[in-house]
Amino acid sequence: MTDLLVTLLAAFTVWTGWRVFRVDSMVRASFSLMLSFIAVGGIGVLLSAPYIGVATVFMMAVEMMVMAIFMVMFMMNPAGLNPMSMVHQHRFSIGAGVVAALGLGAAVLLSSPPSNPVLSDADVVAELGHELLGPSMLIFETAGVTLLATMVGAVILSSRQGRFGNADEGSRPPGLSPDGEPAGRKPDNGGEGHHHHGGHG
């Protein structure tokens, strides 16, 4: 029974993952990715990793909501009414994806990992807690400090200006060739790089 459910969820997570790049709206793509993550969380719950599974579901639900907001901000095709295809180097990408999937799949099929399932009466959540605040405490705390640094970095990167005004005020980017034109967007004809409508004809 568990095997069947796990198989179905694995198929569902791959299918929704594939839908991410097939749907016509980026919001739909974001929710498709959320379903894929939720299926992985469900597999975790089924395979006796309740904490990891539930944490995945919660975290990804929130993360994909945030992602959907960014999608609306940067989206070129809000309603998904037109076909959306914004791809480059398509053949190479398909080839790389297929080669990666087939290579990893062959490695899975050719190897024989040991069969050593979790005991059904093991208290895995308590074990995880003892591990996090015991032998692996340094790793756990490092992850926490890294997340703090991420928050600070994200705010600095995305804030409009620093405490003393724009950091690049009066600066000119270097030319692409010696003594050439300054690189980057010209200040006067703003919106030059605004190729929003590249993909949907």
Partner 1 sequence: MTLTIILLGAAALIGIGLYGALSQQSFVMLMMGLELMLNGALLAIIGFWSLSLGGMPEGQLLAIIVMAVMAIEMAIGFALIVAVYRKRQADMTESIGTLKQ
Nearer CB in complex with partner 1: 92/164: 92
Nearer CB in complex with partner 1: 91/164: 91
Distance CA(98)–CA(176), nearest Å, equals: 37
Q: How far is the CB of 36 from partner 1 (least distance, A)?
A: 6
Q: How far is the CB of 172 from partner 1 (least distance, A)?
A: 14
What does 141-155 look like in DSSP terms, one character per residue? HHHHHHHHHHHHHHH
Six token digits for residue 10: 């694995």
Nearer CB in complex with partner 1: 81/96: 96
Nearer CB in complex with partner 1: 81/176: 176
Coil, strand or helix at 162:
strand
Q: How far is the CB of 79 from partner 1 (least distance, A)?
A: 16
- Answer left, alpha or beta for residue 54, where phi above 0 means left and psi between -120 and 50 means alpha: alpha
Q: How far is the CB of 46 from partner 1 (least distance, A)?
A: 9
Q: How far is the CB of 165 from partner 1 (least distance, A)?
A: 14
Beta bridge partner(s), residue 162: 165
Distance CA(19)–CA(31), nearest Å, equals: 10
Distance CA(71)–CA(66), nearest Å, equals: 9
